[in-house]
Amino acid sequence: MHGTKALLNGEILRQALKESVLKLDPRVMIRNPIMFVVEIGFVATLPLAWMPDAFGGGSPVWFNIAVSIVLLVTVLFANFAEALAEGRGKAQADSLKRSKKETTAYKVTGGAVKQVPSTELRKGDIVVVGQGQWIPGDGEVIEGLASVDESAITGESAPVIKEAGGDFNSVTGGTRVLSDRIKVRITSDPGESFLDRMISLVEGAKRQKTPNEIALGTVLTSLTLIFMIVVVTLPFYGRYLNVELEVPVLIALLVCLIPTTIGGLLSAIGIAGMDRVTRFNVLAMSGKAVEAAGDINTIILDKTGTITYGNRMASEFIPVGGATEEETALWAVVGSLKDETPEGRSILELASRKNWTRDERLTEEGSFVEFKAETRMSGVDLKDGRKVRKGAVDAIRKWAIAQGGTVPADLQARGDQVASAGGTPLAVAVDDRIYGIVYLKDTVKPGMRERFEQLRRMGIRTIMCTGDNPLTAATIANEAGVDDYIAESKPEDKIAVIRREQAEGKLVAMTGDGTNDAPALAQADVGIAMNSGTAAAKEAANMVDLDSDPSKIIEVIAIGKQLLMTRGALTTFSIANDIAKYFAIVPAMFMTAIPQMEALNVMRLHSPLSAILSALIFNAVIIPLLIPLAMKGVAYKPLSTARLLRRNLLVYGGGGVLVPFAGIKVIDWLVGLWI
């Protein structure tokens, strides 16, 4: 994506340091109840630096000051983590804002062209954009074809072709026409453009807590409340045991026990997860969408262009029923002269490579029949009344029969040959006579098998949807290793599959680019639209892939899983930490009154006060130490959820128990040198 690729730079660091102080404002802090408790602890211990016996206690001044400082630093560390995570997005937003300049638009009003500032354009306005000019707003090409430089938005320098009609008609404001001239109908009002949305997304301006974040936040806050009740009641037990429990000691104990590590890193984890998706050149419209990606059970994939390279290329003309190869080619070409689909164009290319002359006069004044997924045919009605059609074998067979023709005996076998090689056979007919087959070749992208294997290990089911015939579908499905496939599917079939899976309680992801994909994209829990696709598709989806690579959905799911896992792992780690802190603080508190407590002092810490301080310091420094993990995400392996859970419990639960024992011991040794 546009802007700095580096994870960190001096500017982001400086800004984050400043932000972490600004975030101390209690009105900001209250949004994070756990860290707010720590801030209150800081404020409560502050007076003890001057008035050590303000609460009637007797802890030494140096200890009170140290506790106070460590508490402040703990809050600053947490703020720093969040500010750092936000920093990258802000830097990106700044560079996007720079590409959002006011330009001159050439607006078409009643036959005349008027110059207006781009900011005055409204939905429905028509503009013309010529060579070298900036496209003044989001819209759809309604006339012409142009190559467009979209690097300001996608970071990809290769120009893309935008043309009227079809699935490649959407243009984005802030991109530039490199050649030719197009007429564009504006589709967004000022302030609501794609670039505006992108800026507010990366900036995190509209960042809302996700459902999972809210749920975890509630658990953590409840835990904090419970520990608060425990700590508040402790002095009563203390009095019963004849132990004077000092206020700074109680606050230190409370802060050590409440889940400050995860509380301090929680929002940074979420922001960094979104940022990972963005850096992958996918725009997620909400954090919720990224989280949903982590929980996906089923993926619906297109065959052409997703699993295979797409752009089904004509590679052979195969005659049937006694016709010649030349005749097949001739009619295939006639039926494709005005077919702008990649399939249609590739037929013309194949014919010219074979040096077959084409007679364009034949189609003069003919009426073109556009390809439709519903009919699975395209062609032309000639002036002399003849109707030329090409399309799916089964569709053409029905067509020829309806015209009163017969079906050549070798049609099925020839078609099946192509299909069982994974190709798409297109039959070519003129009125009632079928001449032959065009072999549209397509190959499965390398590495697909391994990726589907990975998805299976993650417990995710893959369903391939294709408009192709069952034999081609089966061949490709088998070659790519998807779990299931649906052949001869129409756009509305996708919605049916999604609804069926969702009814079983599953979360479904899909990619799409066409206007007819829009309803399914909206229905899916994770819908990724291709940036090259139509405005309707991009509007309906909750993610947009700027690179328009439909197979990226697999990585997006991995990033979502990684986000959920990182949150889980750090929560486990944070809570497991308590055990060591317990062993450090509790014996220290009661040692004077109950000498048997010495048995619990397994760490052999320097002194009771140094033990408490060391636990508190460890509790603070673990936050910045874990920032890199929170930002990068925990190492991700494609395993089943159950195995991942077991592995993470071992690593982060086990580690969470052991690491602080060592950490507190080292800090205690350092503190011991000083006091």
Ligand X SMILES: Nc1ncnc2c1ncn2[C@@H]1O[C@H](COP(=O)(O)OP(=O)(O)OP(=O)(O)O)[C@@H](O)[C@H]1O
Shortest separation between residue 509's beta carbon and Mg ion, angstroms: 19
Q: State the Cα–Cα distance between residues 419 and 470, nearest whole angstrom.
A: 8
Which letter, b or e, does each residue of 468-490 get, where b requires 16 or more Cβ atoms within 10 Å of its Cβ?
bbebbbbbbbeebbbeebbbebe
* Residue 373 known to bind ligand: yes
Span near K ion by CB under 5 A; candidates 176-184, 343-351, 611-619, 652-660: 611-619
Nearer to ligand X, 136 or 491 (CB): 491
The H-assigned helical ranges of 23-156 are 26-29, 33-45, 61-98, 151-154
Shortest separation between residue 46's beta carbon and K ion, angstroms: 20
Residue with tokens 């029969």: 401
Span near K ion by CB under 5 A; candidates 500-508, 511-519, 602-610, 614-622: 614-622
List Cα–Cα distances, 673 to 32, 71, 184, 598, 609, in angstroms: 36, 22, 74, 22, 13
- CA 238 to chain CA centroid, Å, is 53
Q: Does 377 bind ligand X (CB under 6 A)?
A: yes
Instruction: Quote the tokens at residue 441.
Output: 């070749």
Which residues in the 615-654 window bind ligand X by CB under 6 A? Answer: none
On the CB side of 171, CA atoms within 13 Å amount to 36
Q: Which of 82, 196, 246, 343 binds ligand X (CB under 6 A)?
A: 343
Residue with tokens 């009605």: 381
* Residue 372 known to bind ligand: yes
Which residues in the 228-287 window bind K ion by CB under 5 A? Answer: 260
Nearer to K ion, 464 or 612 (CB): 612
Which residues in the 380-399 window bind ligand X by CB under 6 A? Answer: 390-392
Shortest separation between residue 555's beta carbon and Mg ion, angstroms: 22
Residue nearest to ligand X according to CB distances in the complex = 467
Residue nearest to Mg ion according to CB distances in the complex = 304
Contact between 477 and 308 (Cβ < 8 Å): no
* Residue 501 known to bind ligand: no
Nearer to Mg ion, 20 or 304 (CB): 304
Dihedral angle computed from the Cα positions of residues 146, 147, 153 and 156, in that order, rounded to the nearest 10 degrees: 160
Q: Does 472 bind K ion (CB under 5 A)?
A: no
Q: State the Cα–Cα distance between residues 172 and 188, nearest whole angstrom.
A: 10
* Residue 147 known to bind ligand: no
Q: Which does 260 bind (CB under 5 to 8 A by kind): K ion, Mg ion, ligand X, none?
A: K ion
| Amino acid type, 587 | P
* Residue 394 known to bind ligand: no
Q: Does 468 bind ligand X (CB under 6 A)?
A: yes
- Total chain residues near ligand X (CB under 6 A): 21
HEC secondary structure over 127-164: EEECCCCECCCCEEEEEEEEEEECHHHHCCCCCEEEEC
Which letter, b or e, does each residue of 636-669 get, where b requires 16 or more Cβ atoms within 10 Å of its Cβ?
eebbeeeebeeebeeebbebbbebbbebbbebbe
Nearer to Mg ion, 304 or 346 (CB): 304
| Amino acid type, 561 | K
| Amino acid type, 98 | R
Instruction: Quote the tokens at residue 575.
Output: 């809570």
Q: Which does 125 bind (CB under 5 to 8 A by kind): ligand X, Mg ion, K ion, none?
A: none
Nearest residue to 558 via CA among 647, 653, 627, 633? 633
Q: Which of 376, 451, 552, 665 binds ligand X (CB under 6 A)?
A: 376
**DSSP structural state of residue 285:** S
* Residue 414 known to bind ligand: no
Span near ligand X by CB under 6 A; candidates 124-132, 318-326, 450-458, 461-469: 461-469
* Residue 378 known to bind ligand: yes
Which residues in the 294-313 window bind Mg ion by CB under 5 A? Answer: 304
Shortest separation between residue 612's beta carbon and K ion, angstroms: 13
Which residues in the 416-445 window bind ligand X by CB under 6 A? Answer: 424, 426
Nearer to Mg ion, 92 or 304 (CB): 304
* Residue 29 known to bind ligand: no
Residues marked active site are found at 302
Instruction: Quote the tokens at residue 643.
Output: 């195995």
Which residues in the 303-332 window bind ligand X by CB under 6 A? Answer: 303-304
Contact residues for Mg ion, defined by CB under 5 A: 304
Mark the binding-site residues, compressed into ranges. Answer: 339, 343, 371-378, 390, 513, 517
Contact residues for ligand X, defined by CB under 6 A: 302-304, 339, 341, 343-344, 371, 373, 376-378, 390-392, 424, 426, 465-468
